[in-house]
């Protein structure tokens, strides 16, 4: 038919290939050329602190004390000579002599065995004592580490509380004609992102203007600086802070 003039098979193949190339090109452009995560913006917010606590408390590796190995089975079993006397096919004349010899030997063996048992017992006692000592030491070390961690955590919590208070203070616009040094105590409910969900006045001060100023400042200070460690962040769900104009 005359359709050949309009479309040749060559052109069909070429068109298909070109269409594919076009799409591949656009797709590549989209995947490699567009990065929607611009992290530089996060870096624009800078806060300066005079004393920076380590971002994450260096977790002291609990030293792995050499576990007291289970005491090896007392060597009794091995040392025990096989007391099985071979059947003696000796002639009768030798029997008396043999009996005597046997008795002697048996006594000797008994004594030896006793000695060995004694030795094993002493060794075992020593080992047990050693094991106890080691366990005690390990316990103490662990306790010490736990205490250290707890104190470090407490320090971090304090530090971040200080930071939050510091940040809020920056936003406080002190009302004029403030009398004295009123102290307001507030409960703040904080979301994990640092947003303030709720601010409640636990203990109002004498100056309502000051209370309101502090509350406004807390709202404006969002997001509050929270520790990045999620274990610590748990303690920042509800905060109790006190503010006074002069400190």
Partner 1 sequence: MNPTVTHDMSVISLITGASVLVQLVMLVLLLASMFSWYYIFLKIFTFKRANRLADQFEKEFWSGADLNELFQRAVNARNSAGTLERIFEAGFREFAKLKKQPDMGAGMVMEGTRRAMRATYQREMERLEAYLSFLATVGSVSPYVGLFGTVWGIMNSFRGLANMAQATLGAVAPGIAEALIATAIGLFAAIPAVVAYNRFAGDINKLATRFDSFMEEFSNILQRQGQ
Residues that bind partner 1 (CB under 8 A): 2-7, 11-12, 14-16, 18-20, 22-23, 26, 30-31, 34-37, 39, 42-43, 191, 193-194, 223, 226, 228
Residue among 5 and 50 whose Cβ is closer to partner 1:
5
- Cα atoms in the Cβ-side hemisphere of radius 13 Å centred on 106: 9
What would the 3-class secondary structure string for the chain be? CHHHHCCCHHHHHHHHHHHHHHHHHHHHHHHHHCCCCCCHHHHCCCCCCCCCCCCCCCCCCCCCCCCCCCCCCCCHHHHCCCCCCCCCCCCHHHHHHHHHHHHHHHHHHHHHHHHHHHHHHHHHHHHHHHHHHHHHHHHHHHHHHHHHHHHHHHHHHHHHHHHHHHHHHHHCCCCCCCCCCCCEEEEEEECCCCCEEEEEEEECCCCHHHHHHHHHHHHHCCCCCCCCCHHHHHHHCEEEEEECCCC
Supply the minimum distance, in Å, between the C-beta of residue 11 and partner 1.
5
Residue among 39 and 84 whose Cβ is closer to partner 1:
39
Residue among 42 and 93 whose Cβ is closer to partner 1:
42
Supply the minimum distance, in Å, between the C-beta of residue 155 and partner 1.
21
Supply the minimum distance, in Å, between the C-beta of residue 152 and partner 1.
21
Supply the minimum distance, in Å, between the C-beta of residue 165 and partner 1.
19
Supply the minimum distance, in Å, between the C-beta of residue 4 and partner 1.
5
Residue among 4 and 61 whose Cβ is closer to partner 1:
4
Residue among 23 and 76 whose Cβ is closer to partner 1:
23
Supply the minimum distance, in Å, between the C-beta of residue 235 and partner 1.
17
Residue among 217 and 226 whose Cβ is closer to partner 1:
226
């Amino acid at each position: 038919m005359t359709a050949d003039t309009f479309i040749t098979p060559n052109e069909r193949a070429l068109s298909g290939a070109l269409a594919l190339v076009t799409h591949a090109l656009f797709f590549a452009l989209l995947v490699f050329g567009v990065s929607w995560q611009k992290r530089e913006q996060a870096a624009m917010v800078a806060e300066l602190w005079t004393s920076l606590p380590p971002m994450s408390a260096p977790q002291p590796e609990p030293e792995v004390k050499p576990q007291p190995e289970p005491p090896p089975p007392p060597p009794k079993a091995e040392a025990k000579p096989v007391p099985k006397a071979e059947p003696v096919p000796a002639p009768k004349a030798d029997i008396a002599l043999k009996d005597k010899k046997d008795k002697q030997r048996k006594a000797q063996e008994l004594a030896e065995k006793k000695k060995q048992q004694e030795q094993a017992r002493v060794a075992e006692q020593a080992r047990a004592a050693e094991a106890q000592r080691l366990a005690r030491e390990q316990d103490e070390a662990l306790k010490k580490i736990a205490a250290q961690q707890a104190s470090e955590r407490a320090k971090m919590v304090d530090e971040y509380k200080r930071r939050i208070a510091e940040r809020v203070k920056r936003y406080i616009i002190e009302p004029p004609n403030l009398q004295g040094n009123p102290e307001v105590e507030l409960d703040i409910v904080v979301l994990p992102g640092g947003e303030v969900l709720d601010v409640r006045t636990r203990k109002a001060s004498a100056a309502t203007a000051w209370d309101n100023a502090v509350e406004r400042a807390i709202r404006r200070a969002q997001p509050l600086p929270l520790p990045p460690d999620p274990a610590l962040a748990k303690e920042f769900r509800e905060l109790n802070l006190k503010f006074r104009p002069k400190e």
